[in-house]
Structure 1
Amino acid sequence: MTDTLEHGRPHRSGTVPRTLGFVARKLGGAAVSLALVAVLGFFLFRVLPGDPARTMTRSAPVSAEQLAQLRHRFGLDQPLYVQFRDFLVNLARGDLGTSYTYNRPVTELIGERLGPTVLLVGTATVLAVLLGLWLGTRAAWRHGTATDRWFTSVGLTLWSVPTFWLGLLLLMAFGVGVGPLPGLFPVAGMSSPDVPPGVLPRVLDVGHHMVLPCVTLVAVIHAQFMMVMRSSLLEEMGAEYLTTARAKGLRDDAVRRGHAVPNALLPTVTLVFLHLGTVVAGAITVETVFSWPGLGLLTYEALRVPDLPLLQGTFVVLASSVIVMNTLAELLYRVLDPRVRA
Structure 2
Amino acid sequence: MASPRAHLLYTAGRLGGAAVSLLAVLVTGFFLFRIVPGDPVRALTRGTPTTAGQLDALRHQFGLDLPLWRQFTDYCAKALTGDLGVSYQFRAPVGELIAQKAPATLLLTGVAVVLYSAIGLWIGARAAWRHGGPGDRVHTGVALALWSVPSFWLGLLLITVFAVGAGPVPGLFPTGGMSTGTESGLAHAVDVTHHLVLPVVTLVAVGYAQTLLVMRSSLLDEMGGDYLTTARAKGLRDSAVRRRHAVPNALLPTVTMVFINLGHVAAGSILVETVFSWPGLGGLFYQALSVPDLPLVQGLFLVFAGAMIVMNLLADLLCPLLDPRVAR
Class of the TM-score when normalised by the shorter of the 2 chains: over 0.9
Could you state the TM-score of these two structures normalised by the residue count of structure 1?
Answer: 0.92
Alignment of 1:183-262 (within 5 A): 183-195=171-183, 197-198=184-185, 200-262=186-248
Please state how far the C-alpha of 1:162 moved relative to its aligned partner: 0.6
Distance 2:311 2:165 in 1: 41
Q: Residue 136 of structure 2 aligns to which amino acid in structure 1?
A: D
Name the counterpart of 1:285: 271
- The equivalent residue for 1:67 is 55
Deviation at 1:267, TM superposition (A): 2.3
Following TM superposition, by how much is the alpha carbon of 1:241 offset from its aligned partner in structure 2, in angstroms? 1.9
Q: 1:181 to 1:223 in 2, by over 3 A?
A: closer
Q: Does 1:49 align with 2:47?
A: no
Pick from 313, 323, 329: which aligns with 2:309? 323
The alignment partner of 1:267 has SS state of helix
The alignment status of 1:31 with 2:19, answered yes or no, reads: yes
1:337 maps to 323
Structure 1 position 249, deviation (Å): 2.3
Go from structure 1 to structure 2 and tell me whether the alpha carbon gap of 1:179 and 1:328 turns closer, same or farther (over 3 Å shift): closer
1:175 counterpart = 2:167: no
Which contiguous aligned blocks of 4+ residues in structure 1 show a shift greater than 3 angstroms?
177-182
Q: Distance in 1 between matches of 2:57 and 2:302?
A: 28
Query: More deviation in 306-315 or 258-267?
Result: 258-267
Tell me how far 1:179 sits from its aligned partner.
9.1
RMSD: 1.7
Q: Distance in 2 between matches of 1:88 and 1:239?
A: 50
Counterparts in 2 of 1:338 and 1:19: CA distance versus 1, 3 Å: closer
Does the aligned pair in 2 maintain the 1:335–1:341 contact within 8 Å?
A: no
Q: CA deviation at 1:182?
A: 6.1
AA partner of residue 334 (structure 1):
P
Letter paired with 1:294:
G
Contact in 2 for aligned 1:99/1:106 (Cα 8 Å)? yes
The partner residue of 1:160 within 148, 157, 165 is 148
2:109 partner letter: V
Deviation at 1:16, TM superposition (A): 2.3
Q: State the alpha-carbon separation in 1 of the partners of residues 154 and 169 from structure 2.
A: 22
Cα distance in 2, alignment partners of residues 251 and 18 from structure 1: 37
How many residue pairs align between the two structures? 328
For residue 110 of structure 1, what is the aligned residue in structure 2?
A: 98
Q: Which residue of 2 aligns with 1:82?
A: 70
Using structure 2 for the length normalisation, give the TM-score. 0.96
Distance (Å, rounded) in 2 between the aligned partners of 1:72 and 1:138: 62
Give yes or no for contact 2:109–2:265 (8 Å, CA) kept in 1: yes
* Residue of structure 2 aligned with 1:270, choices 245, 256, 260: 256
Letter of the structure 2 residue corresponding to residue 335 of structure 1: L
- Opposite residue 282 of structure 1, the aligned amino acid is G
CA distance in 1, matches of 2:240, 2:272: 40
Q: Distance in 2 between matches of 1:144 and 1:29?
A: 40
**Is contact 2:173–2:198 with CA below 8 Å preserved after alignment?**
yes
**Closer/same/farther in 2, CA of residues 178 and 28 from structure 1, 3 Å limit:** closer
Displacement after TM superposition at 1:180 (Å): 12
- Distance in 1 (CA, whole Å) between partners of 2:79 and 2:99 is 16
Q: Percent identity?
A: 62
Structure 2 unaligned segments of length 5 or more: list them.
Answer: none
Say which is worse superposed, 22-31 or 294-303, in terms of deviation: 22-31
Listed as ranges, the gaps of 5+ residues in structure 1 are 1-11
Post-superposition Cα deviations, 1:141-195, rounded to whole Å, max 9, x if no partner, equal: 1111121111001001000001100000000111114699962111111111222
Max Rg structure: 1
- The separation in 1 between residues aligned to 2:192 and 2:322, in whole angstroms, is 37
